[in-house]
Amino acid sequence: MTATIIDGKAFAAKVRGQVAEHVARLKAENGITPGLAVVLVGEDPASEVYVKSKGKQTVEVGMNSYEHKLPAETSEADLLALIDRLNKDAAVHGILVQLPLPGHLNSDLVINAIDPAKDVDGFHISNVGLLGTGQKSMVPCTPLGCLMMLRDHLGALSGMNAVVVGRSNIVGKPMAQLLLGDSCTVTIAHSRTKDLAGVCRQADILVAAVGRPEMIPGDWVKPGATVIDVGINRIERDGKNKLVGDVDFASAVEVAGAITPVPGGV
C-alpha cells in the first residue's frame, strides 16, 4: 500500500482564506484591524526568513504587520522595554518574539514579559498552564496546525492511540495536550524511551517532532497509521543540500495510511 499524502501547503492556503474572511468581518462589524508585532533580535538567517514570511502573510489576510528588527547586542532591558510598549499599544493585538534569541538574553524572562492575551505563540507560562488544564488559551501554532490536519483527514480522533516522539515545550508537550483534549490515548516518547520502535508501532497517530533526520524508519510505523512529520532537517545527499523530516519518508510511505511530506506538510 502507498499512503495518502497530506498536502499541508494546500491546507494552509485554505486556512489563510478563512482567516482573511474573519479579518474582513472584524473590520466591517467592529472597525478593528488586527495587528501583529514581530520582534527579531540579531540576524539569524532562518529567523529572518520566518519573520519575512510571517509579515507577508499577515498583510495578505488584511491585518497590520509591525516589524521590530533589533541588533544582536540589544540589552535585555531595551528588549523588555519594547515589549512593555507593545503590551500597551492598542493597535497591537498579537506579539511574537522570534526564537532563538542571542545567548545573552533570557528567553523565558522575555516570553513571560508578553501580555498573555497578546502571546500569539502560546509560550507564556499562563497560556501553557491554561492549555494543560484544558481551558481556553493561546496555543502554539505548529501543534495546532498538526491537530487541524489530523481532524481534517481523520475526523474524530477520540479513542485513538497517539504517540508523540519529542518532548519540547514548542511542539511535543503542547501536541500531547491537544491530542488529550481530543480524547486520544497519548504517549510522549523521546530518545531515552525503552523500545522506542515498539512504542511507535502502537500508534494510530504518530507525530514525529524530535529534530533528527530520518530517525523513524518505515518498520516503526503501524500499517495504516497517520504520520505527521514535524521535523525539518537540512542534510547533504549525493552532493546536494536536501530537506528531510524526522521520518524516513521513502520507507514510511509504503506502510502508513497517510503521511505529511517534508517540505510541503506541517
Q: Measured at the alpha carbon of residue 143, what is the angle toward residues 27 and 110, in degrees to the nearest 5? A: 75
Given 130, 150, 183, the domain boundary residue is 130
Same domain flag for 61 and 154? no
Cα separation, 151 vs 6, in Å, equals 12
Q: Has residue 5 been placed in a domain?
A: no
- Distance separating alpha carbons of residues 201 and 135, to the nearest angstrom: 31
Q: Which of 108, 130, 152 is the last residue of a domain?
A: 130
Average pLDDT over residues 182-205: 97
Please give the pLDDT value at position 225.
98
The string of pLDDT tens digits covering residues 230-240 is: 998 888 888 89
Q: Which residues are catalytic?
A: 54, 98, 121
pLDDT digits (tens, 9 = 90+) for 90-107: 999 999 999 999 999 999
Number of structural domains in the chain? 2
Per residue in 129-165, pLDDT (tens digit) is 999 999 999 999 999 999 999 999 999 999 999 999 9
pTM of the model: 0.92
**pLDDT band (50, 70, 90) for residue 1:** low
CATH number at residue 253: 3.40.50.720
Residue 247 — left, alpha, or beta (φ > 0 → left; ψ -120 to 50 → alpha)? beta
Give the end of a domain, one of 71, 97, 130.
130
